[in-house]
Structure 1
C-alpha cells in the first residue's frame, strides 16, 4: 500500500498571496488476478484541506503491466467517512447511509478495465476533524477474482 501527498502550484505564489494550491491525499493497493498475469488496483483520492466541502475520487482498475486489462466485471465501492466527535456527512452522489458519519457508493462495469466514482463530501458536526475515503474493488474474469482496498485520510 502506498500513500502519496500530491500538491500543485508554486511556493512563490503563496508568498505573494495568490490562491492556495490544490492539495490531495491518495492511496493505492493492488492484488494479482490469478492465472492472468494481471492485477487489480484500488485507488482513493481526496482533498487534504477544506473549508466547507471535500472532493473525493475512487477507482478500481485491471492492468497487465502498465496496459489496461479487460475483465468480465469490475466493481468499485467508495466509502467516505467524516471523523470527529458527533461528525455527520452528506455526500453527492448520495449513496447508502451506513451511519450519520459514513456513506457508501458502488459502481459496477462489465467488459472493461475500470470502474470509478467521484463526488463531494460535506462533513459537519461538532469537532469534525477529518475525512477518510476508502476504495474497495474487485475484478472477475474466466472464473477467477481478486479484490483490493485503499484508504486516503488527512
Structure 2
C-alpha cells in the first residue's frame, strides 16, 4: 500500500488566541499523527534590515582581506622557494663529481691564496709580507 501524505494549510483568525490549539485538537480527532506546524509571517524593521546587511558586507570584506593576506603570503613563500632552488643549483654545480656541496667551515671567512696568485718566492702580488695559502701569518723580509 502506498504511503499517502496530506498537507493542509489553514488560515487562522489572528484575533482568536486559541485558534492554533483548536487546529491541533481537530488534527488529533481526524487521526493525523504528526504535529501541525504553525507558520507565522513576521515583519522586520528597516533599521534592523540595514544593520544586518551592513554586518554581512563587513564580514564579507574581512573574509576577503584574510583571503588576500593568505594569497600574498603564499606567493612570497613561492618566491623564496624559487630563490632557494637557484642557490641550491649553484651550490650543486660547484660541488665536485656531482656530490652535494659540503658546508663551509667556520674559518672560511679568511682569504685563501692559490698557487696561481703566488710568485716564485711565495709572496703574493700586493701583500704585505704574508705568505702561505691557508692564512699563515709568517712574515718574509722585504728586499
TM-score (norm 2): 0.18
Pick the structure with more strand per residue: 1
Please report the TM-score for the alignment, with normalisation by the length of structure 1: 0.17
